[in-house]
């Protein structure tokens, strides 16, 4: 494979969030999709069920938090993906800030019940300064949380970035039925307690399709109203605006239940940028230069 082809297939990104938003659990599910692990660990109430791959230090296993950035790699659909799972706690934020200088894009995880939290705002500020492309994943839709419309408003105002929903939740908590894919115009149905890799997909011709009423009941009426509002309020998605750090696509799901993760990953691989030129203290370094160059953002001693 030529150096140009190898560069074009690489995607290097950080997963960032306020503590306990589900960042490490999402990392595990992405590794599961990539075939790097056979079963995914998860962090529940600060206790790790099956040790998470990225939380390898003893203090991380004991406390159920990430205290250092972990780097993991997998291949998926001809792409080579580098994930950097970062600490969310403010006491270890310097590690995260350094990591953000080394990645090409970011997935920002938000707890649907808590919305934008303090560390979320600080991390997003760094992304804005560096014009890093950001995808937002709103997590824990299987629990009661903020109304999606209110949450979108809070995200847009507190993070100071234009948003475009790519999927939209149908219900929440005990009434959560799935998500509507605004790009594909179809529905992915949620089954409680079922952590399968493939979600059940409901194909519909349009939102007036009576199949919606049969499958979703009264939630179909709310979905139609929500989609009409979204199409009228939010800009169309633009890959160029996303890569410039001016527009963030938003996905909804539940990392713990492995729901909405596939749509997130596949869209990420389609739109996220490959390695780009970087300005050093000497000159602009192009990613396809024959001579080796590297940026040291972390040193770890065993």
As to burial, measured by CB atoms within 10 angstroms (0-12 exposed, 13-18 middle, 19+ buried), residue 259 is buried
Q: Which residues contact 101 (CB under 8 A, 6 or more apart)?
A: 130, 295, 297
pLDDT at residue 160 greater than cutoff 80: yes
Domain at 3-172+237-278: CATH code? 3.40.50.300
Largest CA distance in the chain: 63
CA 185 to chain CA mean position, Å: 20
Of the pLDDT bands very low, low, confident and very high (cuts 50, 70, 90), residue 53 is low
pLDDT at 272: 97
pLDDT at 56: 47
Of the pLDDT bands very low, low, confident and very high (cuts 50, 70, 90), residue 171 is very high
pLDDT at 208: 86
pLDDT at 193: 66
pLDDT at 97: 83
pLDDT at 61: 47
More confidently predicted of 33 and 187: 187
pLDDT at 201: 81
Of the pLDDT bands very low, low, confident and very high (cuts 50, 70, 90), residue 269 is very high
Of the pLDDT bands very low, low, confident and very high (cuts 50, 70, 90), residue 181 is very high
pLDDT at residue 48 greater than cutoff 80: no
Helix-strand-coil percent breakdown of the chain, rounded to 5? 35, 25, 45
Average pLDDT rounded to a whole number, residues 253-277? 93
pLDDT at residue 284 greater than cutoff 80: yes
- pLDDT above 90 as % of the chain: 59
Of the pLDDT bands very low, low, confident and very high (cuts 50, 70, 90), residue 51 is very low
pLDDT at 196: 55
Secondary structure class of 265 (helix, strand, coil): helix
Nearest to 183 by CA among 236, 224, 112, 222: 236
Alpha carbon distances (Å) from 171 to 15, 38, 235, 252, 270: 26, 31, 24, 11, 28
Of the pLDDT bands very low, low, confident and very high (cuts 50, 70, 90), residue 192 is confident
Angle between helices 118-130 and 148-159 (to 10 degrees): 50
pTM over 0.95: no
Q: Which stretches does DSSP call E strand in 32-104? A: 42-44, 47-49, 70-76, 79-85
- Rg for the chain (alpha carbons), in Å? 19
Average pLDDT rounded to a whole number, residues 266-291? 92
pLDDT at 57: 46
């Amino acid at each position: 494979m030529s150096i140009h082809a190898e560069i074009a297939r690489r995607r290097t990104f950080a997963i960032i969030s306020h503590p306990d938003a589900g960042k490490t659990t999402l990392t595990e599910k992405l590794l599961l999709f990539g075939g790097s692990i056979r079963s995914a660990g998860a962090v529940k109430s600060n206790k790790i069920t099956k040790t998470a791959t990225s939380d390898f230090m003893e203090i991380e296993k004991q406390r159920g938090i990430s205290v250092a950035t972990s780097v993991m790699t997998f291949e998926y659909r001809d792409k080579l993906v580098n994930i950097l799972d970062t600490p969310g706690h403010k006491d270890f934020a310097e590690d995260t800030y350094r990591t953000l200088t080394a990645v090409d894009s970011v997935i920002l995880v938000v707890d649907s019940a808590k919305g934008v939290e303090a560390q979320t705002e600080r991390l997003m500020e760094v992304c804005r300064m560096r014009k890093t492309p950001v995808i937002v994943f709103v997590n824990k839709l299987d629990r009661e949380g903020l109304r999606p419309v209110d949450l979108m408003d809070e995200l847009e105002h507190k993070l100071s970035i234009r948003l475009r929903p790519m999927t939209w939740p149908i219900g929440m908590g005990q009434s959560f039925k799935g998500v509507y894919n605004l790009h594909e115009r179809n529905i992915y149905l949620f089954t409680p307690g079922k952590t399968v890799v493939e979600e059940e997909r409901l194909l519909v011709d349009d939102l007036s399709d009576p199949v919606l009423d049969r499958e979703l009941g009264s939630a179909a009426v709310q979905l139609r109203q929500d989609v009409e509002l979204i199409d009228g309020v939010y800009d169309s998605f633009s890959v160029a605006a996303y890569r410039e750090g001016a527009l963030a696509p938003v996905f909804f799901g539940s990392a713990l239940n492995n729901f909405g993760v596939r749509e997130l990953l596949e869209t990420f691989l389609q739109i996220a940028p490959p390695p780009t030129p970087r300005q050093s203290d000497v000159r602009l370094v192009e990613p396809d230069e024959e001579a080796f160059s590297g940026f040291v953002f972390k040193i770890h001693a065993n």
